[in-house]
Structure 1
Amino acid sequence: MAEGILGLGSGQASALNSDLIEKLKTAERKSTVEPYETKIENITTEKEVFANIQTKVSELLETIKPFDLFVSGGVTAFEQKSATTSGDSVTFDAADVKSLNKGFTSVEVTQLAQKDVYQSNTFNAATKDTAINQGDLVINGQTFDTTNKTYEQLATEITAKTGMNAAVDQVGSDSYRLVIKSEDTGIDNKLTISGAASQALGYTTDGTVINSANHILEAKNLIAKVDGVTYDVASNSITVDGLKITANKEGTSTINVVEDTTQVETQMQNFITKYNELVALVDSEAYNADSKIADKSAIRDIVNQVKTKLFGSYGENGDKSVFNFGIELAKDGGLSLDSKKFNEAVQNDITGLKDLFLGSAENKGLGTLLKETLDEMKFSGGLLNTYETSMTSREKTLNDEKDKAEEALNKKYELLALQFSSYGAIINQMEASFSGLKMLIQQSTSGN
């Protein structure tokens, strides 16, 4: 006699368990969820590659800035100047190198500008912290009543006024002075001190006549000759033809300003190097079947826009190109520099180089236009910005779709688990019934 009827009686309910459900779910997940995960991983790699491309574009942008007519915060590669100096009576500086005149400048300092400085008679610590009570102290028409004021309080009140400062200085183990100074150097900033308190503190001898012993520095102007022209001014710093001159002491110093084109070749080579790095990186991705870059035409367009500017014609007559000045195409599609030819142009045709790279406001040159092009790539709607936005959008869409697929899969197998549970109960009931039937059959046949 058969051991089971319709497959019952063989423990079939035990086969409908969680392990089976998990195996079925895992198998289906490979075709419904994992493809999205793979695409998301590819976008992560794509973002890393694109970040490298962005870096190379930024590096190229930095190298072209010296060749931009509207260079910000500096001078172009063709406007650099260098200077040699002698003497230490003055220091030289230039806020705007463009405004510097070429040539030799001689500076002779015969007097430094200085502040007006007065000191009081000395007083001890006990006196310092008690009220002065010596009447009025008048400085440049400003009246300070010393009644019920300590020296520190008087110093604070003086400093609060424009054009003067005061401080209580310790000048010995138990010796102090109230020192009053003009805020700035020069005769126009000298101090006039008078009043009963002035006489009592020792600034004047009778309230008006200066006590020379306590007038320790007298206000003076800077007196100097710059290329023979005499300057009699309140400050120790003057600016002549864009050159800031700061006097340090009496004496003579000179400076010689010349054009400096020694860095032009280096700056051009830097540009070529960064251009070649960008081209090599883009080519390695654009023509690689395994590249994770989704829109290869977009990244090729980055280089194409650069090339359009780079290989164009410039100058007032449109007769100048990079190939006229020693920049050449290499076999690998990059650029190379003929140093000899380029430096000959630097020495003998700097105007032509300026026309090519800088141009004018009305007729922009290569460097100026290329800088604008690279800048625009990063702006909203530009190539780099658009591609980055596209990647972010694609990544979000894929994550949303993956989440939906995961949710649908989970719901499906949650329902299947409930169904398996119901089927198991039915099978168990049937198996129990079958067991009783089987026993009756066995009993009926045992007597034969």
Structure 2
Amino acid sequence: MSGLRIGGLGSGMDTQMMLEQLMRAERMPLDRLKQQKQVLQWKQEDYRSMRTKLLNFRTTAADLNRTSNFSARTISSTNSDVVTGTASGSASVGTYTVEVIELGQKTFAHSKVEDGQGVLEGKLASSRINQLFGADELTGEFEINGVKFSFEAPPETPDKNIVYIDPTKESLNNVITKINNSKAGVNLVYDAREDKMFMSSKSEGEEIVFGGSSTFLTEALKFDVSVESEYYTIGNAARISVNGYELKENKSNNFTFAGVSFSAKQVGTSTITVKSDTDQVFNNIKNFVDQYNSLINSVNEKLFEPRNRDYPPLTDEQRETLSDREAEKWEEIARQGHLRNDTVLQGVLNDLRRVLGESVGDLDIRTLSQIGITTGDYKERGILHIDETKLRNAIENNPEDVRKLFMGDGETKGIATKLYDSLSSGMTRLGNQAGQSSAITDQSFIGRSIKRIDDRIFAFEDRLQRVEDRYWRQFTAMEKAMDQMYNQSQWLSQQLMGMF
């Protein structure tokens, strides 16, 4: 309606009410279009919700398709004061007798302070090094275990093997950080209370070797590593044997053998036992089954959700007659059941159930039922149940066969792999039906259907405007005609009265 329109002045009729009633009848096809659009939008939301659930479970299937989920290990030590250990998924199951013959020691050095003269003598390590030390000590380059540090300005193309230090910009703290982060293999710290520098090798049995033309390490930081002394203690490599064999290449107290990471604490002997972590593998499979059952329940809920056709989407006019609570309850019922017996969703569900029921190649364990995972009564519509005793026995006695059942053997796809593929296919099918909320353009079946309805709604609203304008013109013409008739009647009455 355009402009201000007032009807009934000439006729005395409520033309506004009459027009509203006429337009209500004209608007009924438009209301039906909007209801059709709302139903499609609800259906689209349901499809997208199902697709998100498939995506979430696909992540679970992908997680199960990892060797680490089937190779979890537990480890124990008969004497944790001597040796402790952690086992990776690649650790060999077995028993290891570890003898710590001699613990490794790190190499240590500290500033050689004489006559009470410290390194900084009250100055701050946060100050620039050209404010802390003389220019002679900040020229050339120095080396720590073969790693070069240079005080010279870097060339246009800096040498990646040299660590450059700018004395006019960098503090002692910056220099310490650069040394510690380099490949020199040392840890350097400054203690303000002692006013000394302390350096140690990061690994046991490694010496600290200085070199280069700069006197920064020897004069500025006051280190002396020329000979072993109270200022410089050379460490030694650890001596450790495993199952009677003394490790030749190892120097550290922390070492790896057969996938097991050991940490020696003191001299002595300890027996380390590595076993398969049955509980962890069991929990991984149980979580997979629980997530699958949750997905199946959600899909079945939509497939069997009743639809009440006595509750169509509310029109704008109907919504105005209801309270917010009443409208909310109406819509709660109206939006149910739009995926009931849906062939696309049913097809996705059938594919998932087929994968879990199939045999996996010619493996010794080729079905879920062989490890205690079965479906229940047909009324449960595909829900899986776990015989915990049977599953634990399979994990303990045939861990590799259980792994192959889910992951395959390289030639044959396992259940987790095939399920991942099936879920991806299902997501594609649901996406073709309803698209994705993150997509810029929606070319899905429902998306195109909504677009066509939007076009029809736009055209119909334009038509309604023209119809309303036409009704107003007709009512206006009627008002003018009645007004003229009234004026003529008045004139005739006046003429007749003048004759008597």
| Residue 89 (structure 2) pairs with residue 92 (structure 1) | no
TM-score by length of 1: 0.73
Residue of structure 2 equivalent to 1:5: none
1:65/1:367 contact within 8 Å kept: yes
| Residue 122 (structure 2) pairs with residue 125 (structure 1) | yes
Residue of structure 2 equivalent to 1:169: 190
Q: Secondary structure at the match of 1:98?
A: coil
| Residue 223 (structure 2) pairs with residue 203 (structure 1) | yes
In structure 2, give the amino acid aligned to 1:24: L
Runs of 5+ in structure 2 lacking a partner?
1-7, 126-130, 152-166, 308-336
After the TM superposition, which residues 175-186 of structure 1 pair with which residues of structure 2 at under 5 Å, given as runs?
Answer: 176-177=195-196, 179=197, 181=199, 184-186=202-204
Alpha-carbon distance in structure 2 between the residues aligned to 1:166 and 1:348:
48
Q: Secondary structure at the match of 1:93?
A: strand
CA spacing shift, 1:13–1:411, aligned 2, 3 Å? farther
In structure 2, give the amino acid aligned to 1:330: G
CA spacing shift, 1:42–1:222, aligned 2, 3 Å? farther
Deviation (angstroms), 1:83:
1.6
CA spacing shift, 1:324–1:221, aligned 2, 3 Å? closer
Residue of structure 2 equivalent to 1:50: 47
2:109/2:200 contact within 8 Å kept: yes
Residue of structure 2 equivalent to 1:72: 66
Residue of structure 2 equivalent to 1:30: 28
Alpha-carbon distance in structure 2 between the residues aligned to 1:143 and 1:300:
69
| Residue 459 (structure 2) pairs with residue 408 (structure 1) | yes
Q: Secondary structure at the match of 2:385?
A: strand
| Residue 250 (structure 2) pairs with residue 223 (structure 1) | no
In structure 2, give the amino acid aligned to 1:169: Y
Larger radius of gyration: 1
Deviations 1:271-323 (A, max 9, x none): 44444443443333334451112871111111211222222233427995344
Residue of structure 2 equivalent to 1:430: 481
In structure 2, give the amino acid aligned to 1:29: R
Alpha-carbon distance in structure 2 between the residues aligned to 1:167 and 1:155:
10
2:75/2:86 contact within 8 Å kept: no
CA spacing shift, 1:252–1:35, aligned 2, 3 Å? farther
Alpha-carbon distance in structure 1 between the residues aligned to 2:491 and 2:470:
32
Alpha-carbon distance in structure 1 between the residues aligned to 2:22 and 2:270:
91
CA spacing shift, 1:250–1:427, aligned 2, 3 Å? same
Q: Secondary structure at the match of 1:74?
A: helix
Deviations 1:22-44 (A, max 9, x none): 44334332322x22332333344
Residue of structure 1 equivalent to 2:348: 302
Residue of structure 2 equivalent to 1:238: 255
Residue of structure 2 equivalent to 1:283: 300
Quick check: 161-170 or 111-120, which moved more? 161-170
1:329/1:336 contact within 8 Å kept: yes
Q: CA RMSD in A?
A: 4.5
Alpha-carbon distance in structure 2 between the residues aligned to 1:281 and 1:126:
70
After the TM superposition, which residues 294-443 of structure 1 pair with which residues of structure 2 at under 5 Å, given as runs?
Answer: 296-316=342-362, 320-331=366-377, 332=379, 333-334=381-382, 335-343=384-392, 345-346=394-395, 353=402, 356-378=405-427, 382-389=428-435, 393-420=444-471, 422-423=473-474, 426-443=477-494
Deviation (angstroms), 1:256:
0.6
Q: Secondary structure at the match of 1:12?
A: coil
1:164/1:180 contact within 8 Å kept: no
Deviation (angstroms), 1:241:
0.6
Deviation (angstroms), 1:242:
0.8
Deviations 1:327-373 (A, max 9, x none): 44422243334445555555556666556444421233434433432
Alpha-carbon distance in structure 2 between the residues aligned to 1:305 and 1:246:
50
Alpha-carbon distance in structure 1 between the residues aligned to 2:86 and 2:104:
18
Q: Secondary structure at the match of 1:30?
A: helix
Alpha-carbon distance in structure 2 between the residues aligned to 1:64 and 1:373:
11
In structure 1, give the amino acid aligned to 2:208: K
Deviation (angstroms), 1:99:
3.8
2:107/2:201 contact within 8 Å kept: yes
Alpha-carbon distance in structure 2 between the residues aligned to 1:342 and 1:143:
60
Number of residue equivalences:
421
1:327/1:337 contact within 8 Å kept: yes
Deviations 1:178-232 (A, max 9, x none): x26356334444124798773787534xxx85482332x4343333333333346
Q: Secondary structure at the match of 2:339?
A: coil
